[in-house]
Every structure is written in structure tokens, then in C-alpha cells.
Amino acid sequence: MAITHNALAHSLQGRSSCFVPKPLCIRDAKQRSRSSSVVFASNDKNIALQSKVDKLLDRIKWDDKGLAVAIAQNVDTGAVLMQGFANREALSTTITSRKATFFSRSRSTLWTKGETSNNFINVLDVYLDCDRDSIIYLGTPDGPTCHTGAETCYYTSVFDQLAVDEASGDKLASTTLYSLESIISKRKEESTVPQEGKPSWTRRLLTNDALLCSKIREEADELCRTLEDKEEVSRTASEMADVLYHAMVLLSKRDVKFEDVLEVLRKRFSQSGIEEKQSRSK
């Protein structure tokens, strides 16, 4: 069950830095550190809101040390960024500050990811699992999450390690789209180096703008024909895969990350199609 923005505060439409209006949100770190719950300005509306948050915290199945696993995930790429632990206070702080905050078991204190590196994880939503004993901070990272400088803390494949004893351990855990983007990026780097023999299809596309654009138009037309000609559903999936692949090659040519495309889509969620078109014309 997701902890939705609207369930916490009705003021999130403007994407403020808190889940409540800024004047009502206690942001002072010292004040927060003395409280195990979110505290709001004293009026009937905000007392009711505080009660809701406290009840939500009460329903979480904290372990015998008052902790629950907290996982940070990139809202656009789906990449699991890191895993830590949170207590009531850490989750409260995350809700009010919208920065991923954890509880350090070794130091017995709260810590916010990015407080020393400035590589914060900006939380857009928080999810609980069905058993309410683990938490996901869904957000956008300001920079590398891992202290090693890697994008995420998960870059060692167990199967690579089993296959090769000295596997490098530098392959990020990527979803299908981002694995494809990585392969295209490598082909782009290789395209600057002279090659013997027949070039790969991706390399041909990367070095021939006219060919690339003609293929995107061709594949898009074939996708539409699966609807117009009422072809098998599997054909639609296949043609869409072709469109997506060729479009991602074009993105690589333009040095545009697929994550940038998803960010644009995410920002449109709160807009109607008419409003979005009007904003583009401006």
C-alpha cells in the first residue's frame, strides 16, 4: 500500500519541499531529533494530520530494535540505489524533509543520505510492503548513491562471480531498457574507432542519420499497421520493440538519456493533455 501524497497533505500539488505547507513543517534538525513523530503547527487541521501520520507509523511492524528495512529506489530507472534501516524518527524525517533518511545501527543516530556528499535522494513517494515490515523510498538521486562513486550500491553480479572467479564487479543491476541503453552507448563509443569487417546494425545506425530516421519512420508505420490490419497482438509487441530500439539509438545520438524522457513523462502526470500542449506552445 502506498503512502500517497494526498493522504499526507493536500498541498503537494506544487511539489513543495515538505509534505505540508512550509510554515507548518518543523524543519529544524534539533527539534526533529527530539521527536519520534512528525510535528505540525498547532491547529485542528494539522493536529488531525499529525494523528494520521502517527497512526501510520504505529501500523508498521518495527522489529525488536524498532527498525525496518528501508530501500531507496530511483523513480525513473527502477534501479535499487541502496538499502539501510529506518526507525519511526527516520521515516518521520523522510516524510517532512523529503530526503531519504535512515538510522545508523553502528552510530545509533539518524543520517540523511547526502548530508556530507550532497548526493541526496529526493523522495517523491514512500511505499510499504504487504506485511508492513519494509519500506521503499521512491525518488530521484542528485548524484552517485554509493560511496565508491557508483550510481548504485548494487554493481556486483553473483552469476558473474560464479562464472568468473575474478569478475570485476562493475556491472550495475539494470532493468532491460537500461541494459539496452548501455549496449547502445558502448556501440557509440566503438563507432569512433576504425573497424574491420561488416559493422553491426547499431553502428550503422549511429553513423548514418538518414538511415536511422528512415528506420524509425518505417518501424512506426509497421506498428500502426498492426492495429489497422488487426494483426496478432504479438506482432504489436514485436513492432513496438523495434520502434523503441531505433528511437533509443536516436536518443544516444543526441546524448539524451532515457531517464530524461521518463522524467518528462513523470512531470506530465499531474497535467491534463490540453495543459501540457499549451505549456509546450509557450
Q: What is the pLDDT of residues 76-85, one digit of tens each?
A: 888 899 999 9
Residue 105's pLDDT is what? 96
Residue 14, pLDDT above cutoff 70: no
Query: What percentage of the chain carries pLDDT values higher than 70?
Result: 76
**C-beta of residue 97 within 8 angstroms of C-beta of residue 112:** yes
Residue 277, judged by CB atoms within 10 A of its CB (0-12, 13-18, 19+), counts as exposed
Looking at per-residue confidence, does 277 or 57 come out higher? 57
Q: What is the pLDDT of residues 246-259, one digit of tens each?
A: 999 999 999 999 98
* Stretch 5-9: mean pLDDT: 37
* Stretch 93-105: mean pLDDT: 95
Residue 195's pLDDT is what? 79
CATH class of the domain whose range is 175-272: mainly alpha
Among candidate residues 124, 174, 144, 138, the one with its CA nearest the CA of residue 17: 124
Residue 173's pLDDT is what? 64
DSSP the chain: -EE-HHHH-GGGGG--SSSS-GGGB---HHHHHT-SS--B-SSHHHHHHHHHHHHHHHHS---TTS-EEEEEEETTT--EEEEEEE-HHHHHHHHHH-B-EEEETTTTEEEETTTTT---EEEEEEEE-TTSSEEEEEEEESS--STTS-SSS----HHHHHH-TT---------HHHHHHHHHHHHHHHTTS---SPPPHHHHHHT-HHHHHHHHHHHHHHHHHHHHTT--HHHHHHHHHHHHHHHHHHHHHTT--HHHHHHHHHHHTTS-HHHHHHHHH-
Domains of the chain: which residue ranges? 56-167, 175-272
Residue whose entry in the numeric block shows the C-alpha cell 553491426: 200
Q: Indicate whether this model's pTM tops 0.85.
A: no
Residue 237, pLDDT above cutoff 80: yes
Residue 38's pLDDT is what? 52
Q: CATH for 56-167, among 3.10.20.90, 3.30.565.40, 1.10.3720.10, 3.10.20.810?
A: 3.10.20.810
Least confident of 18-22, 73-77, 151-155: 18-22
Among 17-21, 24-28, 91-95, 277-281, top mean pLDDT goes to 91-95
What is the pLDDT confidence band of residue 42, given thresholds at 50, 70 and 90?
A: low
C-alpha cell, 245: 530500439
Residue 140, pLDDT above cutoff 50: yes
Q: What is the mean pLDDT of the chain?
A: 83
Looking at per-residue confidence, does 44 or 238 come out higher? 238
